[in-house]
Amino acid sequence: MRSRARVAPAALSLAFALALATSVSCTAARTSTNAVSPPAAGADGVPALSPGDAGAPRVCIHDAKDLAPCTEDCDRGIVFACTVVATRIERGDGVVKDLTRAVHLHERACELHDAPSCVSAARMHASGRGVPPSRARQIQLLASACRLGDVNACSIPAKAFGRGADVPRDERRAAELWQRACAGGDEAACAEVEGQPP
């Protein structure tokens, strides 16, 4: 009888503690559910804006119809925004095609250290799309892309600087470009590096 009397209060204490914990967690769950309830939708099914959302900043989005936020961000030096505008106006994707502006925006993004934009600008200079054809400018832009880590862009400027083709001959610069390409895993570039005099 004594052992039962000792166990019963302990069991009751445990049962009470569990009931209290369950009650607290249910109350917290109801409170958090109410706190994150979605805003009421308007008649057209779009969530209604709260008064504080009216002055929310516009955001540059890749497929937005209005490119003004992207243009503003590009002017502030945001690379992504420059690439969005450049790509869209080069293709005429939902906006008026403007190749001259596109090549300048690719160059702007290249200056902001975006290697793919350097390659895009180089391609446009090579083909004369939006600008007069310029092999020298193509080589300079590809050299920038190489320095920014695009090993596939290294060989054309490395050969050009090594031979003095369309740009002044610069063997030191050619060697640097070959070494960058080799460090990136380009076997042909490694062969060029091994064949260079010490």
- DSSP string covering 138-182: HHHHHHHHHHTT-GGGSHHHHHHHHHTSSS---HHHHHHHHHHHH
Going by C-alpha positions, the residue among 89, 125, 85 that lies closest to residue 109 is: 85
Query: pTM of the predicted model, to two decimals?
Result: 0.68
Determine whether domain 58-133 maps to CATH 3.40.50.10860.
Answer: no
Dist CA 190 CA 183 (whole Å)? 8
- The predicted-structure confidence for 162-195, as pLDDT tens digits, reads as follows 999 999 999 999 999 999 999 999 999 999 888 7
User: Which sequence spans correspond to the domains of the chain?
Assistant: 58-133, 151-198
Phi and psi for 3 in degrees, rounded to 5?
A: -65, -35
Number of other CB atoms surrounding residue 79 within 10 Å: 17
Encode pLDDT of 122-177 as tens digits. Answer: 999 999 999 999 999 999 999 999 999 999 999 999 999 999 999 999 999 999 99
Q: Which amino acid does the sequence have at 55?
A: G
Determine the pLDDT at residue 196. 67
pLDDT at 46 over 90: no
Distance CA 53, CA 119 (A): 40
Cα separation, 161 vs 184, whole angstroms = 19
